[in-house]
Amino acid sequence: MPAMTYLQAISSALRDEMRADERVLLMGEDIGVFGGAFKVTDGLSAEFGPDRVMDTPLAESAIIGTAVGAAVVGLRPVCEMQFSDFISCGFDQLVNVAGKMHYRQGLAVPIVVRLPSGGGFSGGPFHSQNPEALFMHSPGIKVVAPSTAEDAKGLLHAAIHDPNPVCFMEHKHLYRRVKGEVPEGVYETPFTARVARAGEDLVVIAYGAMVDVALEATDDLDGARVEVLDLRSLVPLDTAAILDSVKRCSKVVIVDEANMTCAAGAQVAALIAEHGFEDLDGPVVRVATPDVPIPFSPPLEQAVLPGVERIKEACRELLAY
């Protein structure tokens, strides 16, 4: 198996899909000759041409809306938001048009929206957000968030094959930082959780970039055997895997890079409170970004984003409970 970065794995999935299925086309701002702001689509225009690697006008609502139209007449558009923050401009088309279509009239909308998300590099308030919870709250949209190169490729294949709108949260901080072996060819990673490291004293539940941070924070935590559960998919949410980890470990720390209130982790906490209460040996603890815009300056940004030390501290406190 070749080793790839998270970014290369995403590019590889796009290339494989476009080679295999002429219905697949990519749409986004500056994704053609330029190869995208992060170079995810670098080289694809040369191979597949400007029609299938489409440089669009700077218009996020139009990118989503026209993708919906193309999808209902048989294409398989994969849209790129240049930054996930910009999905706010396409929110209506995604939530009201794409998300509700199948329920209302039985018409499937097979589109993927790639959302480069997350902070940690002084992107400031408009280039650092994690908007996934907005779409968890909107019926009819699936949401996945890979943390490894292998899952980035497999989840993207599965998302493109899925007959529904799928938000593919790709964390910018992982693009070149995470590298791993990736199977060749087309394979699907299921929209289920994955035990990133097994344990029995406590489980840290995370997704996306926070999985690595959780693994690092709990790698050597005073000898405790800490499990890390990587959700991978937020819609559907793998409730069985979550409750299974809770049952095994009895103590839970939930980590979100997103803002705290109503984040994905809030839903996980509610799920555990409702269905895992008897298995708990302590309060459910959450670590997340406080409810502030993500500030620009490094010391300010680091002060709000969950990091290794905050997770360590939360785990230690809970282990001692």
Would you say 71 or 182 has its CB closer to other proteins? 71
Would you say 23 or 179 has its CB closer to other proteins? 23
- Structure-block tokens of residue 307: 């990091």
Would you say 81 or 203 has its CB closer to other proteins? 81
Give, in order, the Cα–Cα distances in Å from 288 to each of 203, 265, 307: 16, 8, 9
Give, in order, the Cα–Cα distances in Å from 249 to each of 34, 257, 260, 272: 48, 23, 23, 13
Under the rule (CB under 8 A), what is the footprint of other proteins? 25, 51-52, 56-57, 59, 61-62, 64-75, 92-93, 96-97, 100-110, 139-140, 142, 163-164
Nearest to 192 by CA among 131, 245, 114, 248: 245
Would you say 65 or 282 has its CB closer to other proteins? 65
- The CB-of-165 to other proteins minimum distance in angstroms stands at 9
- Structure-block tokens of residue 199: 């344990």
Would you say 51 or 278 has its CB closer to other proteins? 51
The C-alpha atoms of residue 151 and residue 172 are separated, in whole angstroms, by 15
Q: Return the SS3 of 141.
A: coil
What angle, 0 to 180 degrees and rounded to 10, lies between the N-to-C axes of helices 209-218 and 308-319? 60
Whether the Cβ atoms of residue 215 and residue 206 lie closer than 8 Å to each other: no
Q: What is the DSSP letter of 277?
A: G
Nearest to 25 by CA among 57, 58, 48: 48
For the chain, the first-to-last Cα distance in angstroms comes to: 44
Task: Give backbone dihedrals phi and psi of 179, rounded to 5 degrees, phi first.
Answer: -140, 145
Where do the H-state alpha helices sit in 121-232? 132-136, 149-161, 209-218
- The CB-of-305 to other proteins minimum distance in angstroms stands at 32
Is residue 127 annotated as a catalytic residue, yes or no?
A: yes
Nearest to 170 by CA among 189, 145, 191: 145
Would you say 67 or 196 has its CB closer to other proteins? 67
How many CB atoms within 10 Å of residue 210? 32
Q: Concatenated DSSP letters for 243-290? A: HHHHHHH--EEEEEEEESTT-HHHHHHHHHHHHSGGG-SS--EEEEE-
Task: Give backbone dihedrals phi and psi of 53, rounded to 5 degrees, phi first.
Answer: -125, 80
Would you say 39 or 102 has its CB closer to other proteins? 102
- The CB-of-112 to other proteins minimum distance in angstroms stands at 12
Given the residues 127, 157, 171, 173, select the one marked as catalytic: 127
| Residues recognised as catalytic | 127
